[in-house]
A = this chain, B = another copy of it.
Amino acid sequence: MTDKKNAYHKVRMERKKTQIDASIAKANIEKGILLVITGNGKGKSTSAFGMVARALGHDLKVGVCQFIKSRTDTGEEAFFSAQPNCEWHVLGDGFTWDTQNREQDIATSERGWQIAEKMLSDPSYDLVVLDELTYLLSYDYIDKQRVLSALQARPEMQHVVVTGRSAAAELKEIADTVSEIQEVKHAYKSGVKAQIGVDF
């Protein structure tokens, strides 16, 4: 019985291997990817940070722009800003309910976006992370068309990751890969505090 099961498994897997190899062979375009990670679930920024590690592991040069957030005591910043190939910018003043000042938020966003624009026009950056960028668009702090244009005009081989809730339809439209992280369950909602190494 088990022998039969194993033999059947082998036949199925040989067939699958042929299909997968054919599918891999068909995917032959090489280009800079625009990856958008959106949705309400936990894991958007952390996923971008995982890509930073992956890129650094291949000796690529990485630029990170963190919008909105202002805290500089995070594990990710401590860790990555110590890496030689990684440039890390914390470009926010806090959430809208922290600053409580729309004009200030707009001015801060403008300053931050100019740093991002420089990266997006510099082919020496292999990967650019625009963390929480979606909020600058949904709050209308930065003109959407300006952001889309900068993303589309970037160097051909440059990869970009954009994170944040409620990504604009036009942004998803020009992206190569879009993942939406759904929150099925969140510890915070069961009374668990934001914790070092997990949440920041």
Interface residues of A (CB under 8 A from B): 5-6, 9-10, 13-14, 16-17, 20, 24, 26-31, 33, 35, 37, 39, 41-58, 60, 74-80, 96-103, 126-127, 159, 172, 175-188, 190-198, 200
Q: How far is the CA of A47 from the CA of B43 in the complex (A)?
A: 6
* Complex A-B: 17 CB contacts under 8 Å: A5-B102, A9-B101, A13-B96, A13-B99, A28-B191, A29-B192, A33-B187, A33-B195, A42-B179, A43-B43, A45-B50, A46-B48, A50-B52, A51-B197, A54-B197, A55-B197, A177-B185
B103 with A6: CB separation less than 8 A: yes
Q: Which residue of B lies closest to A175 (CB)?
A: B185
Shortest Cβ distance from A144 into chain B, in angstroms?
19
A57 with B79: CB separation less than 8 A: yes
Q: How far is the CA of A151 from the CA of B143 in the complex (A)?
A: 47
B-chain residues with CB within 8 Å of residue A47 when the two chains form the complex: 43, 46-47, 50
B60 with A97: CB separation less than 8 A: no
B197 with A58: CB separation less than 8 A: yes
Q: Which residue of B lies closest to A100 (CB)?
A: B13
State whether A197 and B102 are in contact (beta carbons under 8 Å apart), knowing that A50-B49, A53-B76, A79-B54 are contacts in the complex: no
